Structure formats: C-alpha cells, structure tokens
Structure 1
Amino acid sequence: MKKCTIYLSLTAIALSLSACNINKTNATDKSEELIANKEVEKNKTYAKTDFSFDVDPTTFAVSITENGEKAEVSKPQEAKEVTDLKKKNEEVSWTYPNEQLKVTLKKETNHLAVTLTSLSDEDNTVTWPKLDAKNYILPIAEGKTIPNDQKEWLAYFNQNEELSMSEAFSMSFFTTNHETFAATFVTDNTFNNDLLTKTEPHLTLEASHHFIGFDKNKTVHYRLYITDNDPVAIAKTYQMDRIKLGAFKTLDEKEKENPEIKEMRGAIQVYYWNSRILNTEDINWRKLPKMIDQPIFQWIGELLNQYGEDGSEEYLNALEAFKRNEGYKYEKNTFLTSLNYVLLYPQFYNKDIFKNPDAEAKNLIEKGLDQLSEQERYTLNKHLLAGVTADLTPPLEQWGQVTSSDVFKEMKKAGIENAWIGLPNWANGLMNPSMVKTAADEGYLIGPYDSYQSIQENASIDWNTASFPNSDLYENATVTKKNGEKVAGFLGKGRKLNPTLVFPDVEERFKGITQNGIPFNSWFLDTDAAGEIYNDYSPDHLTTQTEDVAGRLKRMAYFNQKGLVVGSEGGNDFASKEMVFAHGIETPVIMWSDPDMRENKDSDYYVGSYAALDGGIPTKYKKVVPIKEEYKAIYTDPVYSLPLYKLVYNRSVITSHQWEWDSYKIKDQVGERRMKEYLYNTPPMMHLDKNSWEEHKQDISENAKIWSPFQKKALQHEMTNFQVLTDDRLVQKTEFGETLSVIANFSKTDYNSDGVHVASQTALIMNDGKETVVKIEE
C-alpha cells in the first residue's frame, strides 16, 4: 500500500496553521450551550402529530392515515380469537386469550402508543409488528438503508433469519419507508427482542419479543412515530424519545463530572502494542552465546516447561542455536518472547539463581512475595533479571523505552496533540509504568483493555482477564441457559459471568492494578456495550437481561467515578450515558463466521492470527486484507450507509471502528474510509508499534493536524443534517451546526453544484467559508 497523503487547498493551509477558525477562543461555554439547545429544539419538530390510525384486533394489522394518505404499517397476522374488546376516543384495547396477551393502542400527541402485556407467569413470545415495505431503515451499526430487493442484503438476511436486536441493533428502533411518510417503531430497549427475516419473494421483517416468566416486568412498550421519509427526521425523533425517557447525556454533561474527557475531543484512536519490556535493541546479541550456560537461562527453561502453555522446547532449541552462533531472527524472537513471558510469573524468584539482589529487590523480597502487588511483582522480577544480565542488557530504566515512551514523545513532536492509547492488557502498563507516565505527561489518554465477560477455571497468564481470585465465581456466578446448560465463554473457553454478581471482584481487580499509582486515565471494557446480554436461569440467581445490563452499567459508572475516560466495544445505546467512546459502531466485526476470513490461512481474505512473532502487532490487526464483494454492501458501501447513530449521539458518544478493522486494515478502501471518517465525525483508528509508527507517521501526523480541530468543533454541535446529493447516492453531505459541513464524493466523477466543486474520491470540509480538501492516494 502506498503512503496515504492529504492535499490541502490554499485556504485550508490557513485553516491548519491558524486554529482560530475552529477553536474560537471568544466563544463562551454559555453561547455554545445556547446554540446546542437551539439545535435540539428543532429536533422536536420532526414527529408528525396530525395522523390517525386503524387497527384490526383479529389480525393486529395497523394502518396510519397522514395528510390524506393511508398505509398499512403492520401487516395482518394469522387471525386470533379476541376478547374484552374496548374502544373509546382514540384508544383501543383487547385480549388474546389463547396467547395470554393484552394489547392497548392509544393515540398520543406525536405518536401511537402500543402496549403489549403478557398475562402468563411462564415464558411467552409475541410477534409484532409484521413489516413489508419497499425500504427499511435499521440501526445496524451506524445505520443502514436497505431496499427490499437488494441481493447482498437478501443473502445476508438469508443467513441471519433471526437477529438478536440487543446485539445487531445499536439503537432501539426500526423504520419502514412508505410512499409519503416513514413509520418508526421505538421500544424502551431491545432486550429479549429478535428480528425475524424472510427473503422470498423479497425482504420482509417481523419483530419478536420474549416475555421471561421470572421477570416481574410483563409489558413491552412500542411508540410508533410518523415522520417524513428523511433519515434526519427519523433519527432526531428517536433522539427526542431518548431524552424524554431520561436516556441521553451529552459529552458536556459528562465532562463536568470528569474533566479528563476533554482530552478525548479531537483524539486519534491508537491501540499500542509493546508486549515486551526487553526488545531486540536491549540485548547485546554478540555476548549472548558466551552466557547461554548461565543458570538464569536454564531456570527460564524450567519455568516455561512447568508453567508455560507451549512448554520450553522452542526456547531450549534457540539456546542451542545461539551456542553454535546460529541465532537468527526466529531464535532471537523466541528468546525475547520467553524472557518477557517469565517476567510475569509469580514463581520467577529463586534464591539459588538470584543470590545478590539489588536494594529494591531486597526490599520487595523482605515485604513477602505473597504480599506484593502485581506491579511490585513485575518490578521485583525485572530487578532480579537485571542483576544477572548486566553484561547483556542496558540499565533497567532504559528497558523497552525506545519502543514505547520514545514513540509517544515522537508523536507529540509530530503535532499529534490528542490521542487515546489503548493497551492490550493492564500487565503491559504495570510492566512498563514509564510508558504509561510518558503518555499521560504528553497529554494523551492511556488505558488498558479489560474484560469481565468470561471466566476460566485455570486461565493462563496470557488470559488474565478470565482469571479471578474468588474461586467460587466459576460455579456460583456464571450464566445458565433455560435448559440448565452453562453458557460457554469467549471462543468456547470457560463460562460467561453474570455481571450482577461480580462487582466486588471488579473493585478488587481495579484496586490491585492501580494501588501503586500507575497513571492510567482511561479504561476500556470489552463487550459491555456490545449487546451480548443474557437471561440467567440459575435457580440461585435468576437474572433478567435488564438486570444483566444494569450490572454492566454499574461497573462502567464505577470507572467513571474513578476519573477514568470509559469506552467499550460496540456502542449500543443502552450504555450511552455511561460511556464516552465506543469501538464498533462505524465498522463492526466483519463476518465472524466466514472460514475464508477466520480459518483458511491460505485465503486472500484471511484476516490474520492473534500471534505476533516479534512481540508487536498481531497479524489479525496488522495484515491488510480485501473484503469479499458480497460483504461491501453490508459493511462499507456508502450507498447503504446512514449516519443514524451520529444524528442521535454526535454530542454524546465518540464512536470509531471495531479494533479488528482499523483505518488501514481494508485493502483499497483506506481513502474511502478516510473520507467517511470526516463525513461521519469518526476518529481514525490504527494499531501501532514502533515499526508501524515509522511506516505511517507522516500520514498519521498530517491527518491528525486536520482531524483534531475538525472534531473539536464538530462535537460542539449536533450533526444537524445529512443529505444525499446525487441519484447514485455516492455524493453525501453532513452538517454540524451552521458553519461546519463535509461533502464526500465517493464516485469516480467530479461533483459540481451551486459553485461547489468536489473532485472524485475526495472529501471537502467547509468551515466558516474556509475549505479543506482531503484526498487519499493508495
């Protein structure tokens, strides 16, 4: 892939050199708040009020009449017996005795309220509404517009005939487009809801809700809103529904509670890989062959043999190769991986090997090995190793800094003012606290990946997120299916944890990680906002999906209260009040089930593995791959994409890609995705280590100088408008307030209209009359 380049117009040069046009120092917080409030006031006007409804209780078909036009928004179901039918004014209610379901429809000022109540104490399922329309607007990831005859979408839904809405939908609504209006069905949440699909003769949909017998809440609420056939009207109406429900919180409000959030504005998103405290640069390879027989290197082999998942064979073979002066790249990486791995071991200290520990090591040993924190244990192990490898390694304070702290300093010198840096594990920070401190000192946010999704009985050090000191959790705090089986953990290992039962363990883990003052200022919680939630049928701790989510939000709130900037995978809006950023809304995981992408290593589409021979970026995140043509419509094609989430949450949640699909990952789409990042106000994301930084630093730094001020202004506003400017839908425009807009031309021809020129394959940023042209060459 050729180096990506950003070309600026002459007026844009002034924009990038003088941030005054974006960071207006004379704009007070109060005036910005007034502007934002004015934008929200407009959003109240999109839902129509002058409509009427008809319903056939026997078939539960519902029709809406608006401005003289009538459309059947929910199609007839199979006829059912009806009792207790009542009609008064603009309200209708009845009971389905065989289904044990009570139904009420009532016309409210700006919506039709539909209430479904289960009369059973057992699990009960109801399907409604039944949808058959020319086009659907669904909150899949950021948002999609789906014609009912589009072949790739038909193939997708043919493979996904039953979608869990809590996982598949980022927001709690779905919309059908009719001739003169759109009908949007909104629920309080998507818990226990499925979307049932049929693809013959064209795409039809049906919603299914599961009432859980032990759930005291036996009612599901739909609010049916009527708007113009405009994604802006649909999204803004949903936003007003969330605000009325008390489920909306702006970044400004969050920032008042946690000032650190300010550093997230304008930040590029970086996953940083530095799993080694000792790197190639830290070893005097010429001296190693003469030192191979020293006891320390035999001890490392014993530790690997006893505690390592892969044993010690490869390591011992590498030692033999070094003895013969045949230690090449593979052997060096094997040696380094082994050294760094055993530094994590609580069993590393051996008084017969480390006979003369330095003063700090002595103090830690005297404290008691079983009394040491995780960070102290790593500190002890580093000092022990340094004491016996002084001829082989540099002074301890220099270990690993060239490939970590020095890179962050270079980033700042290159003009990257704002960055979020995610570490793959908290151990990376505890092993290298200087790296974390440097990032924080440079003004960056830095935090670890953390997970409370799964637990394993005997988790390896590599999988420390699945390990908990409390041995009772595996049997007593894991999720049980209705049939009595335990829900398997990630990749089929272990079990899924019930989040309502592990909060004390969340506190214990956090306190253990931070007790020595590691300056993490952010925290990333895997899957908590991804919608993978459960009803737990364990007799001792029956738990509904609503309670499951409440447990997740409680721990997100806990990290917020600790002053950390909290993010999560996914970004589903049940967590929008607690999270600041989300990874997965803009590009979700692409086709997890495709063997060509996940299993067949000879396939051009194979995304890579979790392994990294050199201790840097795993190939899963570094390897550039194409995606199959049939997946483009589903995941990346702008023709079917809508910024629904941004129209609702632009001022509330900062969203980016799922980490498997960073800004550089998809072959031949780097430019298209860069344009869309500006169009949708999506932070660029990349996986970096020292080598990757060297490869991409010019592109990253040049883009960051434009991105940061752009987003800082965009976040002061709603996304106020979205327009498709051409019939082929390849030229699109977004607006953020009255003076900031972006036109992205995804087509192969130039766009000219009303004095505005946008060349093919470019994006045009317009800010207070100034123009910035973003163009990528691949």
Structure 2
Amino acid sequence: MYKMFVWLCTLCLISVAVTGCGYGVAGSAELPTSVVKASQQTAAITEPFDFEVDPETFALTIVKDGTRIPASVPLPKMEITNLVKKEDSVQWTYPGKVDVSIVRKSGYLDIQLVSAGAEQFAWPTVKADRYTLPIGEGKEIPANDADWRSFLNDQTYTWSESFSMDFFALNADPYSLVYVVTNKFNNEVHFDTTKSVQFQFKHEFPSINPDKSYGFRLYVTGSDPMEIVNPYKSYVTEKGDFVTLEEKAASNPNIQKLYGAPQVYLWSESILTDSDVKWPKIRTLMAGPFGSWLTKLLADTPDGSGELKDVLQQIAKQDYMDKYQKRIVLGAMNQALKMRNFYTPDMFPNPGESALELIKQGVSQLSEQKLYELNKLLLKSVLLDAATDLDDWGQADSTDVLDDMHSSGIDNAWIGLPNWADGLMNPQMVSEAVKNGYLIAPYDSYHSIQHDADISWNTASFPDPTLYEEATITKKDGTKVAGFLGRGRKLNPTLAMPSVQQRVSGILQDGIGFNSWFVDCDATGEIYDDYSPAHPTTQSQDLAARLQRLSYFAGEKGMVVGSEGGNDYASGTIAFAHGIESPIIAWGDPDMRENQDSPYYVGGYYAAEGIPERYGKSVPIKPLYHKVYTDPAYSLPLYKLVYNDSIITTNHWEWGSYKIKGEEDERMLYELLYNAPPLYHLDRASWEQDKASIVDFLKVWSPFHRQAVTREMSNFSILTDDRLVQSAQYGDDLKVIANFSDQDVTVDSEVIPAKSAVIHEDGKRLIFNAANNAKMLSE
C-alpha cells in the first residue's frame, strides 16, 4: 500500500509513493474511466515510484526499487511558508515568488507553480547521464559528449520554438524520468555545459497574461524511446488533440494524395523563357523604343534598371547577345509582366481584342490573375513573331516537367510554388498538376510586413496601409519586433485575418486550381507576447490565431494545408510540415551564411533564373553539424512514434534531400526508416540531371510510404553498439532495417548490406541499396 507522508524536520524532507496503476495496492485499481482508453499504453509501461522533495531547495528525487534518481538540481535554500501536507499532496510558498503544489495522480506527479509575485521563476534545473529531447524529430544527447557540450554551450532555446513536442526526458538506466510540460508558453531552456550537459527550465509570467502558472507531469518509464514517448502520446490523446491522417482525409480526401508523394518545390518563375523567344529579333526590338520604355518602367522598382540599361548599350554595338545579356533582358520582361502600370496606350497601340476587353474593365480593377493575362497579351502584341505562341510560354520549364514526372511513374506528388504569382502567371501549369493527380500549393506567409508594398516580397505586402503601424508586435520595452532578416516588422496574427481572407480571395477569384496551401511560420512555434497598448496579446492568443488561420485554409477553403516546422500544437490541423526531419542548420554560422568564399557557404536567396543556390547548391557541412543535426547515432524518431499516422513531416526547404554533399545515401535510408518524404528542388535542368536517381528511389519509397503512413510507428530499435543499424516497425507487419554504416552487418542471422535498407512485409524481403540506388526482392 502507499506509504504515509513522513515529515522529517531535520531534513525538511517530504516522502510519498506514486504508482502508475492507480490508488491502493499496486495493480488493483483501474485508471479513471475518462482516460483509460487514452492511456492504456502509458499505464502498461509507466513505473510505480516513490518521491522525496525538499521544499527549501525544491530538490526532487525519485526513488525506484531502492535507487534514488535526482529529478532536479537543488536551488539555493529559500524561505518557505504555507507548507501543507496531505495524504496525496504537498504544497508550499516561496514568499513573493511562487506557490508550489505537487499532487499524486494515477501514474505521475502533477507539479504546478503559480506566481506569488515573481516575474519569472527557474525550475527545474536538471542533470542526467543522457537526455532524450524532442529537438526536431528527436535526439538522444550524452551529457559528457564533447561535441554536444561545445554545440550547446551557453545556448538559450525558446521552448515553443525549439522543441517539437512538450516533453523532455532524463535517462538513467534502466529508467527514465519524463517531464511533460503542461504550459508551453513563455518558457526558455538554458544549457550549461561547463562540466557536462545540464539545463535549466525557466518560465516568465508576463504582465499582460492573467495565467500566472506553469507546470509539469512527471512520469517514470523505461529507457526505450517508445516507452519514453508513450506518456506524452497518451497526454495528447487525453486532451483530444490527436487526429489521424485518415480522420483528416474523411473531411478532405485530397489528403490521401500525400501518401507516397515526394515533396517538390518547382522553380518556374519565368513565364517567358529562353526557348520561347527568337533572339535576333529580340535584339532588334530592344534596340528600339520598347527597350527604352522598359528601362524607364523598371527604374522605380527595388531591383532598378541599371543592368538592363547597360545591356541595351552593349547589344546596340553587337550583332549577337551573350548568355548574361539574354538573362538580363528576359528577367526585365518577366518582372515587368507583374506590374500594374505595364499598360500604356502609346506603347501598345494594337493590343488585340482579348486585351481590349480586359482594358475596358479598368486595369486598376483587374484581379492579379487577369492582370497577368493582360500583360502577357500586351507583351505578345509587341514581340509578335519574336516569341512563340502565348500558350507555349513557360511550359517547357513547368507543365512539361510535371508531365514527364507523371509519365516516369510518379503518381502522387506535392508541388510547391515559391510564390502564388507563379501559378497565377501560368494557370496551365496548375491545371496540369491537378490533372496528373498531384497536389499543388503556393507558398504564403503572414509573418512579416513591409511599410511599402513590394512585388518582389509580396507575402510581406498588404493593401491595408494601417497594419504596419497599428497591427505589428511590440516588445516589453516598447520597440517593435523586426521582420524576417531584420526587414519590416512582425504582424500580430490576431489582427491579420481580414487581410488573410482578402489576399486568398484575390488569389482564388478566377478559379486557379490550387488544391493545397503552404503557410510559412505558423507551425514553427515562433510566437509572441504583444505589449502594444491598443492590442495586448499573449502567446496563447497569438498561437490560437495562427491555428485559426490554418483552419481557415483547411476548412473553409478545402486545402491540404502544410506549414513550416511542424511543432505538434498544429498537428490536429495541418496535414504536412517542412522542418521536423532536417531543420535549418547552423543559422548563425558566418561560414554558412555570410562568407561566400567558404566551402560551407549555402548560397543566396536570389537567382535570376533557375533554382537559387540557397536551395539548389549542394554543400558539405562541418563535422560538428553532421553530428548534432544528421548523424543517425544521435537521432531518434520521437515525433514519428507519436505522430506518424497524424502528420507527414519532411526536411526544411533549405535542406532538401540533395542539399548536404556526401550525405545523399544517408538521407535516402533515413527517409525509408523514418517514413519521411524526400524533398526536392526541381527545374527542368535539375529534373533532367537527377531524374534517374529520383525515379529509382521513389519506386521503393512511394509504395512503402503508402503502407506506413496510415499506421502507428509501433516499434523502434537500435540494433548495434555503434547505433548505425536501426529498425522501425509500422503497424503489425511492416518493418524496415537501415544500415547506415559502411560494412555489412548481421542481425539475428540476417545480413543487412552496407548503406542499405531491408523492408519486410508479408513474408517478402526487399533490399534497397542507397549507394547504387538499386533494389532486390527476395523471399
């Protein structure tokens, strides 16, 4: 039976027993009816335990089978008041700071801290041999590892942004202590690696937030990853926050098009391409009034017209155009096609009947799609036979690529466009993607806002001129939160919904065939308290507005919705996410972000044509980053163990499947083991270059994903001491074993070839060799 509370005055120590089986004799009671179904797995693996707590130092110790496991490092001794001990609880107050309550529940401790005057409070500080942390997909971090100590040294992580799920675990074989964080807002984790990795959890109590509490559930489990995540999965289910993909697909069957689908960003921003023009005639045309007019038109744009002016001067002295000159001229015309002041009667005296019909409607009143239609007609009226038929413009780099993907056996794919304008400029491409059975989505964002509208950054431009001053986020010190890359400001999502609806209605009003939508930032956990006197907003309200926005796309607009990151608060709403499997790597390293002479430089965001280097350039990463970001020895599928059949997660678009030079094979094995879609950046050139590799891999990955994605990840095991041979099971009978090492390995009498994945299903054995991108089927 439970031990009674024992009050030891000399130690200021309180001791109580907790069991995962209910009150009374261990195993004699059931969980409360309301949570039995949600917590069956947790009840089976949660360990009964005792605990001791010293209120003066808030040192919490778990006692299990005679072993004492520290759950927190002692704080400096503090005065306590209001100490109350009952059969199932203990509580006390640190005067002027916080009220503390620890309550014995079925299978866990319920720990609550409420401000009694504190603006912030730091607890717990934890120290363990190893940590299991939901950083991205998941990591197991040895506390004494020199590289992890270097990487985490003096780092402070925002909880809601840096941790994909709301728990952390301290590993002390054979048991783990699992903290479930019950208030995700206003928390930071600070790492101290002076002697070994340890960290401090700190909560702020904002003045604008009436909720002055934070807390945890503390469980004792085994040290297997599945045992560690099960209490959290049961907690999510208990709250009603777990929604399967099949449940989402019941409302929107298009979600099933994600099954077996690679995620592809298609770069076809230019509607007028090299193959669409006849350069000798273009050179003659640009030497006349049209070239001068185009230069003047672009003079007031952010990119200006300096390069175009120089090029026109050069070609006036030549009887040819080189590659650079062609690129500048094409870029100028494609940029001009997006401008609302493109039309002038003097330049386009004979626009044609279709153009005249649009002009009569009033150019300023045209939708964005109709504006692009008009501008293409106008340009064609000037280019005449210097360009191909208008229906052919841009299709070689877009529609033709999609058709070739489909004819190559890629039945399902998610196609992302870097900008919605790419689709509105080329609706034929969007229609063809849908015809092929693909999902196609624009990239969209409501995170940053610019003071002045800018067609080169249209996601940060809004028609409402009051938003910049009246709807942006203010810090506690009264300054504004800067926008992406320090430009502009961050938009308060609670005030953005009318602008969201206005933008989306404008994009869709002419029937563009988008059937998916990608919303940047809303699932990253980058959320804010807004101290603006006119619209104070808590992080909780900020997040709720983001979820409302995602629900608007998923519900009212019927889109298959994805977002950046994929932190699990959005898992009930979105169907896919970019960033859980590979986040942005080393954002602050100047060798990767600033030093263009560095071999590690990832490239810039802009390209005049094709894929920008930031996304398409293959680069190595430093050994430290390989270890902490991609080394399979430290990776765990914590997110997949909870959410495999709820949300489809892949790499961040800056770190697609081919981005890291030398790790292409490992990424393919990872994508099979973790059931994660490959993410590619494609234009016509890259598709032709990588087509064979992509198609061969998808012949294995796609059918596997279709089977695995609607099942739970039911088991995960590390099979070798070097941790480079791992297995994952999906449901009852689908299993994959991945060997990341360079040597053949025998596991349970089965040979797993080097750099290979072995898939077991229905008595059949499929071997995929990543190094050769080849498969072999055997019984």
TM tier relative to shorter chain: over 0.9
Map 1:122-201; keep pairs closer than 5 Å.
124-160=119-155, 162-201=156-195
- Tell me which residue corresponds to 1:771: 765
Opposite residue 626 of structure 1, the aligned amino acid is: P
Indicate yes or no: 2:100 matched with 1:103. Answer: yes
- Tell me which residue corresponds to 2:755: 761
- Tell me which residue corresponds to 1:504: 498
The CA distance in 2 between the partners of 1:701 and 1:185, in whole Å, is 43
- Tell me which residue corresponds to 1:113: 110
CA-CA distance at 1:50 after TM superposition:
2.0
Indicate yes or no: 2:521 matched with 1:527. Answer: yes
- Tell me which residue corresponds to 2:285: 291
The CA distance in 2 between the partners of 1:626 and 1:159, in whole Å, is 26
**8 A contact 1:318–1:327 mirrored in 2:** no
**8 A contact 1:81–1:98 mirrored in 2:** no
Map 1:432-511; keep pairs closer than 5 Å.
432-511=426-505
Opposite residue 129 of structure 1, the aligned amino acid is: P
CA-CA distance at 1:584 after TM superposition:
0.5
RMSD, aligned CA: 1.5
1:581 paired residue among 565, 568, 576:
576
Q: What is the TM-score when the length of structure 1 is the normalising length?
A: 0.93
CA-CA distance at 1:38 after TM superposition:
13
CA-CA distance at 1:766 after TM superposition:
1.3
Indicate yes or no: 2:380 matched with 1:386. Answer: yes
1:611 paired residue among 588, 593, 606:
606
Opposite residue 150 of structure 2, the aligned amino acid is: A
Indicate yes or no: 2:558 matched with 1:563. Answer: yes
- Tell me which residue corresponds to 1:369: 363
The CA distance in 2 between the partners of 1:46 and 1:496, in whole Å, is 46
Partner-residue secondary structure (3-state), 1:695 = helix
Unpaired runs of 5+ residues, structure 1, are: 1-36
- Tell me which residue corresponds to 1:676: 670
Q: Deviations over 1:75-98 (max 9, x none)?
A: 211111110000111200111113
Partner-residue secondary structure (3-state), 1:74 = coil
After TM superposition, the structure 1 stretch with the greater mean CA deviation from structure 2, 422-431 or 320-329, is 320-329
The CA distance in 2 between the partners of 1:291 and 1:156, in whole Å, is 57
2:621 paired residue among 618, 627, 630:
627
Partner-residue secondary structure (3-state), 1:569 = strand
Opposite residue 628 of structure 1, the aligned amino acid is: K
Any runs of at least 4 consecutive aligned residues in structure 1 with deviations exceeding 4 A, and if so which?
37-42
After TM superposition, the structure 1 stretch with the greater mean CA deviation from structure 2, 328-337 or 295-304, is 295-304
Indicate yes or no: 2:644 matched with 1:650. Answer: yes
Opposite residue 464 of structure 2, the aligned amino acid is: N
Q: Deviations over 1:441-488 (max 9, x none)?
A: 100000110000100111421100110011110011000000000000
The CA distance in 2 between the partners of 1:226 and 1:410, in whole Å, is 53
CA-CA distance at 1:236 after TM superposition:
1.9
1:349 paired residue among 343, 353, 360:
343
CA-CA distance at 1:673 after TM superposition:
1.0
Map 1:674-753; keep pairs closer than 5 Å.
674-753=668-747
Opposite residue 185 of structure 2, the aligned amino acid is: F
Partner-residue secondary structure (3-state), 1:586 = coil
The CA distance in 1 between the partners of 2:250 and 2:496, in whole Å, is 29
- Of structures 1 and 2, the one with the larger relative CO (CA 8 A, separation 6+) is 1
The CA distance in 2 between the partners of 1:620 and 1:66, in whole Å, is 51
Indicate yes or no: 2:200 matched with 1:213. Answer: no
**8 A contact 2:178–2:220 mirrored in 1:** yes
CA-CA distance at 1:320 after TM superposition:
3.0
The CA distance in 1 between the partners of 2:596 and 2:374, in whole Å, is 40
Q: Deviations over 1:103-144 (max 9, x none)?
A: 110111111100111133xx7111111111100111101000
Opposite residue 234 of structure 2, the aligned amino acid is: M
The CA distance in 1 between the partners of 2:233 and 2:702, in whole Å, is 26
Opposite residue 634 of structure 2, the aligned amino acid is: Y
CA, structure 1 residues 210+715, in 2 after alignment: closer, same or farther (shift >3 Å)? same
**8 A contact 1:748–1:761 mirrored in 2:** yes
The CA distance in 2 between the partners of 1:524 and 1:415, in whole Å, is 25
CA-CA distance at 1:159 after TM superposition:
4.9
CA-CA distance at 1:41 after TM superposition:
7.2
1:314 paired residue among 298, 302, 307:
307
**8 A contact 2:415–2:438 mirrored in 1:** yes
Indicate yes or no: 2:245 matched with 1:251. Answer: yes
1:231 paired residue among 220, 225, 244:
225
The CA distance in 2 between the partners of 1:205 and 1:701, in whole Å, is 45
Partner-residue secondary structure (3-state), 2:713 = coil
- Tell me which residue corresponds to 1:422: 416
* Number of aligned positions between the proteins: 736
**8 A contact 2:154–2:193 mirrored in 1:** no
**8 A contact 2:50–2:64 mirrored in 1:** yes
1:63 paired residue among 58, 61, 64:
61
**8 A contact 2:51–2:62 mirrored in 1:** yes
Indicate yes or no: 2:79 matched with 1:81. Answer: yes
The CA distance in 2 between the partners of 1:40 and 1:118, in whole Å, is 31
Q: What is the TM-score when the length of structure 2 is the normalising length?
A: 0.93
- Tell me which residue corresponds to 1:12: none
Q: Deviations over 1:352-394 (max 9, x none)?
A: 0111111211111101112110111111100011111111101
Q: Deviations over 1:564-609 (max 9, x none)?
A: 0111111111111111101000000000111100111111000011
**8 A contact 2:154–2:190 mirrored in 1:** no
The CA distance in 2 between the partners of 1:211 and 1:465, in whole Å, is 33
Partner-residue secondary structure (3-state), 2:423 = helix
Unpaired runs of 5+ residues, structure 2, are: 1-34, 773-779
**8 A contact 1:50–1:67 mirrored in 2:** no
**8 A contact 2:265–2:682 mirrored in 1:** yes
Partner-residue secondary structure (3-state), 1:672 = helix
The CA distance in 1 between the partners of 2:731 and 2:399, in whole Å, is 39
The CA distance in 2 between the partners of 1:706 and 1:530, in whole Å, is 31
